């Protein structure tokens, strides 16, 4: 039980050292992530459609 208590105390001590983002930073980073996800998804979708069309022409 002492090891668990020591572990939780260490976790609490480390959590006080964490540099948490501000709300504005969090919103900005979330927006960047969502935009990048949409762009990458559209690229993969387009590449998949192009490859499908090419294979359909090749294999008839």
For residue 20, what is the DSSP state? Answer: P
Q: CB of 29 within 8 A of CB of 21? A: yes
pTM of the model: 0.68
Q: Which residues contact 39 (CB under 8 A, 6 or more apart)?
A: none
**Domain limits, the chain:** 20-60
Task: Determine the pLDDT at residue 57.
Answer: 96
Residue-by-residue pLDDT tens, the chain, 60 positions: 899 999 999 999 999 999 999 999 999 999 999 999 999 999 999 999 999 999 999 998
Residue 60's pLDDT is 85
Q: Give how far the C-alpha of residue 25 lies from the chain's centroid of Cα atoms, to the nearest Å.
A: 15
């Amino acid at each position: 039980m002492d090891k668990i208590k020591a572990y939780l105390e260490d976790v609490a001590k480390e959590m006080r050292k964490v540099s948490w983002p501000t709300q504005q930073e969090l919103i900005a980073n979330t927006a960047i992530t969502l935009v990048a996800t949409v762009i990458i998804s559209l690229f993969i979708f387009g590449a998949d459609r192009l490859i499908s069309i090419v294979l359909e022409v090749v294999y008839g």
